[in-house]
Amino acid sequence: MIVPQKKELCTIHPGEWYFGGDYIRLYTLLGSCVSLTAWHPGLKIGGLCHYLLPVASYDSSASRSSSVTKNDYRYADKVLAAMKSAMLKFAPLKEFELGVFGGGDMFAYSGATSIGFDNIAYVRQWLMQERLEPVRVDVGGAISRSLTLTLTTGEIRVKQYHMNRD
């Protein structure tokens, strides 16, 4: 019997996501964007999404055009629904270990909230609605992050990079 070889690395870019077991590691780089990670300890599968904004209506350029499609994964509402659907094909949501990362305050902003803050608020609301509790959270601050999820072990590595916004 031939066992398929896992690919070493899948880099997830803004507006992308992956869920499955074809890779050893998943990687992304975050600023104000947010990633939800999901890993199943028994099945050794998982995924990661990288969204830019909570919903399309948050994006003034998107609301002026018809460029937003049903599967536009730049937005949390679309990609979290896709991740949920992919997870449910394998196991109940509560069996997955979840993590939330990113949402850095990347830009000087004078409003009541920032893009990063709103991205964090959206995923927190989604988790509460789904009655899920993340096992690891690293969000906010004036930092960017690199994130690696190892699908064979569930290990998550986060490196923080402090921003100079002067």
Please check whether residue 139 is in contact with residue 103, taking contact to mean a CB–CB distance below 8 angstroms.
yes
Looking at residue 98, its pLDDT comes to: 98
- Which among 33, 9, 8 is positioned nearest to 145, based on CA atoms? 33
Give the 3-state secondary structure of residue 138: strand
pLDDT, one tens digit per residue, over 50-107 is 999 999 875 555 444 445 556 789 999 999 999 999 999 999 999 999 999 999 987 6
CA gap 136, 149 in Å, rounded? 12
Looking at residue 87, its pLDDT comes to: 98
Residue type, 13: H
9-162 has CATH 3.40.50.720 classification:
no
Residue 3: pLDDT band (50, 70, 90) is low
**Structural domain spans, the chain:** 9-162
Please check whether residue 147 is in contact with residue 28, taking contact to mean a CB–CB distance below 8 angstroms.
yes
Looking at residue 65, its pLDDT comes to: 47
Q: What is the DSSP string of 41-93?
A: TTTTEEEEEEESBSSGGG-HHHHTSS---TT-TTBHHHHHHHHHHHHHTTS-G
Tokens representing residue 35 in the block? 């990633």
Looking at residue 29, its pLDDT comes to: 97
pLDDT > 90 in the chain, percent: 77
pLDDT, one tens digit per residue, over 112-163 is 678 999 999 999 999 999 999 999 999 999 999 999 999 999 999 999 998 7
Looking at residue 64, its pLDDT comes to: 44
